[in-house]
Structure 1
Amino acid sequence: MHRDEFLAILSSEGFDEVVTVTREPHGSLDIHTHPFEAKALILEGDVTIRIGGDSDTYRLGDVFHLAANIEHAEQYGPQGVSYLVGRK
């Protein structure tokens, strides 16, 4: 997906807060939650998100969506990751 298309989707779905997040190569975040719903477009690198026993890896152009207060862990690839995220 392209950035402009993604921004239009965020706007239409009520994601008013939009930020760019960059994480370091081979970094990680242990299990945590966010008090907001998040929808993100990968701009560079990759991230693997684990929810319970399931893991999915997202790369350039992929979109991931997390509901508020969902426990998850994150692992960043060898180039780290940069993503555009909408929050509500």
Structure 2
Amino acid sequence: MDRQTFEADLRRDGYEIATNTTVGAKVNPEHSHPFDVRALVLDGALTLTSEGKTTTYRAGETFTMARGCLHSESYGPEGAVTLFGRKK
């Protein structure tokens, strides 16, 4: 999906929009968010683990997470830039 379309969809659906840049390797241990998430990886890759399933998302790929979803995140040496929307 392209960035403009993704941002337009987020706005239409009432999401707050932000960009997150993670430089280099990093691991965020299991946690949750008090909001729904929709995200588009713009550069690099990130790996999410939730409910025993691990998936890596690369540039151009999207994912969603419901508020309260327990997950961990990991980033390889290239890091990642992610455009995301959050909605309470």
Q: TM-score, normalised by structure 2?
A: 0.94
Q: Is 1:58 the equivalent of 2:57?
A: yes
Determine helix, strand or coil for the equivalent of 2:33. coil
Identity percentage of aligned residues: 40
Q: Which letter does structure 1 place at the counterpart of 2:5?
A: E
Aligned Cα root-mean-square deviation (Å):
0.8
Q: TM-score, normalised by structure 1?
A: 0.94
5+ residue gaps, structure 1, are none
- After the TM superposition, list the runs of 4 or more consecutive aligned residues in structure 1 that deviate by more than 2 angstroms: none
In the TM superposition, 1:11-30 aligns within 5 A as 11-15=11-15, 17-30=16-29
Size of the aligned set, in residue pairs, is: 87
5+ residue gaps, structure 2, are none
Deviation at 1:24, TM superposition (A): 2.5
Q: Matched residues in 2 for 1:24 and 1:66: separation? A: 22
What residue number does 1:49 align with?
A: 48
